[in-house]
């Protein structure tokens, strides 16, 4: 059986370019964020007072306050008059924010994140595919077809990833549901982080091309049941790839004596 050659392993773009750019502001966001996620600053605990943090991090009050504002917007901390700035419980953290995801994957077990995120996709995307089949218009169908064509033409991992993300976002848009559509950007951020932190170079993404094509064909025919089933098969295959990637990462970590 002919298999499409594996795309060249050009690295996937980092999910959190603000952090990777290492500007002073984002370095401070990163440092304080990591301390929160690691538990150095525990939930409900107040952050050190401004002069302490300014002296320790060697930054101005302006930079510190801007970093605090960013961390607050991402759900990690809350500032209240007279009680200072406190760490919020993890249930308030915006884990679908690219920066928070990047930090989360550097602190917590990658496999847990990958598997939990995959479970979220299984809940959302099969039904989204069925809704898209029932309600899509011609413009939305063209968007899906263009994304699928880009997947077939991809020559490296980065191109494949961009086209794959566009395909899944197009399905969410085609649902016509205003509450479903914003999930596209959230899934985009999470998938980007997932791929950045642990792309499995032994996997051939073209192996899933047939399943993507089945989803597209069902949506083209307006067959909601077939679209739901095809997306279920696609995500089942993705789940297997994630499991293999996790096992591979753990095996390599044991061999190198590093952290999983």
Q: Which of 245, 201, 145 is nearest to 10 (CA)?
A: 201
Residues of the chain with CATH 1.10.10.10: 17-92
pLDDT higher than 50, residue 12:
no
pLDDT higher than 80, residue 9:
no
Q: Which of 184, 236, 172 is nearest to 207 (CA)?
A: 236
Q: Which of 74, 76, 66, 15 is nearest to 40 (CA)?
A: 76
pLDDT tens for each residue of 76-126: 999 988 889 999 999 999 988 888 988 988 888 777 788 888 899 999 999
According to DSSP, residue 181 is labeled: T
Any idea what the Cα angle at residue 121 is, between residues 228 and 207, rounded to 5°?
A: 75
What per-residue confidence (pLDDT) applies to 260? 43
pLDDT tens for each residue of 195-218: 665 454 446 667 889 999 999 999
Higher pLDDT pick, 253 / 234 = 234
What per-residue confidence (pLDDT) applies to 20? 44
Q: Which residues of the chain form beta strands (DSSP E)? A: 77-80, 84-87
What per-residue confidence (pLDDT) applies to 201? 47
Q: What is the pTM of this model?
A: 0.74
- Can you read off the two tokens belonging to residue 206? 């073209």
Sign of CA dihedral 31, 37, 38, 44: positive
SS3 of residue 156 by DSSP: strand
Tell me the C-alpha distance between 79 and 245, whole Å.
40
Among the CATH numbers 3.30.450.20, 1.20.1090.10, 3.40.1390.10, 1.10.10.10, which is that of 17-92?
1.10.10.10
Which long-range contacts (C-beta less than 8 Å, at least 24 apart) are formed by 222-226? 222/133, 222/134, 222/136, 223/133, 224/130, 224/131, 224/133, 224/134, 225/130, 226/133
C-alpha separations of 180 from 31, 123, 171, 190 in Å: 34, 12, 10, 16
- The topology (CATH level 3) of 109-256 is 1.20.120
């Amino acid at each position: 059986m002919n298999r499409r050659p594996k795309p060249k392993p050009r690295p996937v773009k980092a999910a959190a370019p603000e952090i990777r750019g290492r500007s002073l502001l984002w370095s401070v966001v990163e440092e304080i964020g990591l301390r929160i996620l690691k538990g150095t600053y525990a939930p409900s605990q107040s952050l050190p007072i401004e002069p302490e943090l300014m002296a320790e991090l060697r930054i101005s009050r302006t930079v510190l306050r801007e970093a605090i504002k960013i961390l607050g917007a991402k759900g990690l901390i809350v500032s209240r008059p007279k009680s200072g700035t406190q760490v919020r419980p993890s249930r308030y953290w915006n884990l679908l924010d690219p920066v928070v995801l990047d930090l989360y994957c550097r602190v917590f077990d990658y496999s847990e994140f990958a598997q939990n995120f995959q479970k979220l996709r299984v809940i959302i995307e099969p039904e989204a595919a069925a809704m898209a089949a029932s309600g899509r218009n011609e413009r939305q169908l063209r968007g899906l077809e263009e994304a699928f064509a880009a997947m077939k033409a991809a020559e490296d991992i980065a191109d494949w990833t961009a086209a794959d993300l566009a395909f899944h976002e197009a399905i969410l848009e085609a649902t016509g549901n205003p509450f479903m559509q914003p999930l596209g950007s959230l899934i985009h951020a999470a998938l980007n982080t997932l791929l950045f932190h642990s792309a499995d170079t032994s996997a051939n993404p073209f192996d899933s091309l047939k399943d993507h094509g089945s989803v597209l064909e069902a949506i083209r025919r307006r067959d909601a049941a077939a679209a739901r089933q095809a997306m279920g098969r696609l995500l089942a295959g993705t789940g297997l790839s994630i499991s293999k990637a996790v096992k591979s990462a753990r095996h390599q970590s044991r061999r190198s004596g590093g952290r999983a």
